[in-house]
Amino acid sequence: MLFNRIKLRNILSFTDTTVELRGLNVLIGPNGVGKSNLIEVIALLHAAPTDLQWTILQLGGIRAVLSLTGPVPSPIAKIECEIGLHEGIEYALEFTESAAGFTERGPRLWRQSSLFRTKL
């Protein structure tokens, strides 16, 4: 699967970040800038259809995955991505902390066109 763009909000070290991607991407930078966290976000996207809870546990639990640097004690983490070469398909996943561990706020998938969005 090819991601053209990934937008991250309140997840791991990202408070509000958009990453543009191409066919070949190389992550270079000093320690602590989010290279490994971006790879972990891609792992969350990969696990979302079937094993999101297990992947969150593997990353240290929901409190480790949520970006807790902002003013909200339990923020809503959001991952949005544009998928494919020219199809214009977008996917969004939201989750937050709850008494049961975490609550997924329904993934959304839609086709983007120049005029409107069509829910798939």
Q: Where are the alpha helices (DSSP H) in 1-120?
A: 35-47, 52-58, 62-65
Q: In the prediction, which pLDDT does 85 show? A: 62
The C-alpha angle 34, 106, 6, rounded to 5 degrees, equals 30
pLDDT of residue 115: 44
Question: Tens place of pLDDT for every residue, the chain, 120 residues?
Answer: 688 899 999 999 999 999 998 888 899 999 999 999 999 999 988 888 788 888 889 989 888 899 877 777 788 999 999 887 666 788 899 999 888 778 887 777 777 654 445 555
Q: What's the pLDDT at 72?
A: 75
pTM of the model: 0.81
Domains and CATH numbers, the chain: 3-119 (3.40.50.300)
Closest by Cα among 79, 87, 15 to 45 = 79
